[in-house]
Amino acid sequence: MDKAKFLVSGKEYEFPLLNGTENEVAVDIRKLRESTGLITYDPGYGNTGSCRSAITFIDGDNGILRYRGYPIEELAGQIRFSAAAYLMVYGRLPSESEFLEWRKQLTLNSFVHASQVNFFDNYSALAHPMNILSSMVSSMSAFYPYDAEDESDIDLHIRRLIGQVKTIAAFSYRKSVGLPYIYPRTDHSYAANFLRMMFATPAEEYVVPKVMENALDMLLILHMDHEQNCSTSTVRMVASSMSNIYASVSAGISALWGRLHGGANEAVLNMLQRISEDGGNVSKYVELAKKKDDPFRLMGFGHRVYKNFDPRSRILKKAVDDVFNEMGIHDPLLGVARELEDVALKDDFFIQRKLYPNVDFYSGILYRALGIPTEMFTVLFAIGRMPGWIAHWLEMRADPDLRIQRPRQIYIGETKRHYEKNDTFL
């Protein structure tokens, strides 16, 4: 089958089909309005492909996630975040010399611009760290200006974004707790540098525990990309107008902040704490989540694409046990999470709607075990997602099909009416 046929007002129209390398099929409707006068209506774009992409493949029915063809299970916890970031951005794993140079450059370019550090001193003490992150990343284009018509040095800006996103995050935390800033070192991995910048004290050498470095590496890789999710689509939308990479990524950070998207990991922890403080009455909250007239939803559950287990939540569910055992810690919220998952997965409401735990359900418990404060969980999501946003920005800008993104609409407002002169408004 290479064409789709539509009958519109008795007339037959044919539209070509596009086939992906994993046998996905799309109807190419680029000529739809021109030939039929019709547009499509698809709020939330659940049935609409915005692009052709070679970065990430998801099979939501079978719980499959691959970055550049590699199954997530073969990357998360198996290689360093910086190596996976190179794969994500450039489409292949680096050679040994490329990797060592890339990792060194990520560190050397991870120092926030000296003038920009002052922002932290004058920012509102009430600011959420995602607010600070999106503002600081957007303002990077003021400290590292480049001509959007000549992006020949884009690799340098890419290293700055990946390198500095973790430094901005760590500095915002250090500022919030009144501690001096700690700077990154070239003899530390990306994850180790972040943990050291978060928790070291200048009074003595801080050795990052391997179990924490490895857990964070895995968490960052698990969050690295997820095809056309809300925040990545936002990056692409802004990039399509030829905005610079900092402005595009800053918009993605703002989209990620929402509790239906990246903000869900923070919301999951708050939900688990609410259930725990309410006597651990899990069934009460599963029932509440089913009520149409109540805004409460099981945070960390459900997904637009996965109608099976999110492979990332499977990996995280196992990793939590491993890390807790190795660190010798116990967190009562883990018990609440396990019971909540167990009750929900047996409940018809969730079974019928194919609602399973997603990446956010267990990630917060692991971040908490690493000592990350709850309000920084979504910032950690953004740090992991940075290489994915950059990869999509690059792919979009090189796409021969690139057009400024400008959806249509169905107008349902007032029909034409006339203004009757009123001197009040003069």
Residues serving a catalytic function are: 303, 360
Instruction: Calculate Rg over the CA atoms of the chain.
Output: 23
Give the separation between CA 299 and CA 259, rounded to whole angstroms: 8
137/97 Cα distance (integer angstroms)? 29
Residue 113 Cα to chain centre, angstroms:
25
Minimum distance of ligand SDX from residue 93's CB (angstroms): 22
Angle among Cα 108, 204, 100 to the nearest 5 degrees reads 25
Q: Whose Cβ is closer to ligand SDX: residue 142's or residue 288's?
A: 288
Length, in residues, of the chain: 426
Q: How far is the CB of 5 from ligand SDX (least distance, A)?
A: 29
Comparison of 289 and 369: residue with beta carbon closer to ligand SDX? 289
Residue 191 exposed, middle or buried by CB count within 10 Å (0-12, 13-18, 19+): buried
Q: Which is nearer to ligand SDX, 89 or 192 (CB)?
A: 89
Q: Please, what is the minimum distance in Å from the beta carbon of residue 346 to ligand SDX?
A: 15
Token pair 């403080």: residue? 277
CB 347 → ligand SDX: shortest distance, Å?
10
The residue among 210, 190, 222 whose CA lies nearest residue 73 is 222
Residue 188 or 290: which CB sits closer to ligand SDX? 290
Least distance to ligand SDX from the beta carbon of 301, Å? 4
Residues within the interface to ligand SDX (CB under 6 A): 44, 226, 229, 260-261, 264, 289, 297-305, 353, 355, 358-360
When the beta carbons of 189 and 229 are compared against ligand SDX, the nearer one is 229
The residue number whose beta carbon is nearest to ligand SDX equals 302
- Closest among 126, 130, 160, 158 to 143, alpha carbons compared: 160
Buried residues in 237-255 as b, exposed as e (16+ CB within 10 A): bbbbeebbbbbbbbbbbbb
Least distance in Å: CB of 265 to ligand SDX?
Answer: 8
Burial classification of residue 375, based on how many CB atoms lie within 10 Å of its CB (0-12 exposed, 13-18 middle, 19 or more buried): middle
Which of 189/358 has CB closer to ligand SDX? 358
DSSP, residue by residue, 112-174: PPHHHHHHHHHS-TT--HHHHHHHHHHHHHHHS---TT--TTHHHHHHHHHHHHHHHHHHHHH
Backbone angles phi, psi at 415, to 5 degrees: -80, 175
